[in-house]
């Protein structure tokens, strides 16, 4: 078989379709195209074609994971879950995760720190709720403790802000209802009582 055409794909930037004897055979990223030196007229035997198709699959899985990683920070567990959904085998998944970790795109400590900072910016939230969210991302106790330890927000101040915000809504004028809401948000009873007395 002979490579008769190398065409850039329309939907995926920096990815190329390789045609052998006029028929589509496999696709590669621009980096793999250059690395392997694919060229028009190159002869490809059956064994090499099988190898190139496997390389194509691995390359596509890695580049999909790379795109997913740069959209926003992800925990290692989230990436594992993503690759599983994409039917990437466990061994290949481990290799991809290792590569992304070396690039600094996967780091559970950094993920936890950013998660806490972003949640603080977006929402008035208790440390207990933050802890629950980080546990849902399958982070270790050590990393969760470290991220929450670096959080400079004082629970009582966060609580006071939330109380002031909720008191502006007619549905939370009732103290018992307000206390119930705050407890469901993960604040302790003692902190709720203290904050209500100080606001």
Residues 10, 97: one domain? yes
Structural domain including 130 reads: 108-198
CB 65 within 8 A of CB 100: yes
- pLDDT of amino acid 174: 80
Segments in 72-107 forming alpha helices (H): 76-85, 90-102
Provide the strand spans (E) within the chain: 3-8, 15-20, 23-29
Q: pLDDT tens for residues 65-121? A: 999 999 999 999 999 999 999 999 999 999 999 999 999 999 999 999 999 999 888
- pLDDT of amino acid 107: 96
Single residue among 102, 132, 153 that ends a domain in this structure: 102
Percent of the chain whose predicted confidence (pLDDT) is above 70:
100
Residues 62, 114: one domain? no
| Structural domains in the chain (count) | 2
Residues 89, 119: one domain? no
Residues 96, 173: one domain? no
Cα dihedral angle (183, 188, 190, 195), rounded to 10 degrees?
Answer: -70
pLDDT reading at 175 higher than 90: no
pLDDT reading at 171 higher than 80: no
- pLDDT of amino acid 181: 87
Residues 38, 98: one domain? yes
Single residue among 76, 102, 128 that ends a domain in this structure: 102
Residues 91, 118: one domain? no
Residues 36, 119: one domain? no
Residues 77, 124: one domain? no
Average pLDDT for 17-43 = 90
pTM for this entry: 0.74
Q: What distance in Å separates the CA atoms of residue 150 and residue 131, rounded to the nearest whole number?
A: 13
Enter the DSSP assignment of 172: G
Both structure tokens of 87: 């039917």
Top-ranked range on mean pLDDT: pick from 9-18, 92-101, 165-174: 92-101
Higher pLDDT, 178 or 85: 85
């Amino acid at each position: 078989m002979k490579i008769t055409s190398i065409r850039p794909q329309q939907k995926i930037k920096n990815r190329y379709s390789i045609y052998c004897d006029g028929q589509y055979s496999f696709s590669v990223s621009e980096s793999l195209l250059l690395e392997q030196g694919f060229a028009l007229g190159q002869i490809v035997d059956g064994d090499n074609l099988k190898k190139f198709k496997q390389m194509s699959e691995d390359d596509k899985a890695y580049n999909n994971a790379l795109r997913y990683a740069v959209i926003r920070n992800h925990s290692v567990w989230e990436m594992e879950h993503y690759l599983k959904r994409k039917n990437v085998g466990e061994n290949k998944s481990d290799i991809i995760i290792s590569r992304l970790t070396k690039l600094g795109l996967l780091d559970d400590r950094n993920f936890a720190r950013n998660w806490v900072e972003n949640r603080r910016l977006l929402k008035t939230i208790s440390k207990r709720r933050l802890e629950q969210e980080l546990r849902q991302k399958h982070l270790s106790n050590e990393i969760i403790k470290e991220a929450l330890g670096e959080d400079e927000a004082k629970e009582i101040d966060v609580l006071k802000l939330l109380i002031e915000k909720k008191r502006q809504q007619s549905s939370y004028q009732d103290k018992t209802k307000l206390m119930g809401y705050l407890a469901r948000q993960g604040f302790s009873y003692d902190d709720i009582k203290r904050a209500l007395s100080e606001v």
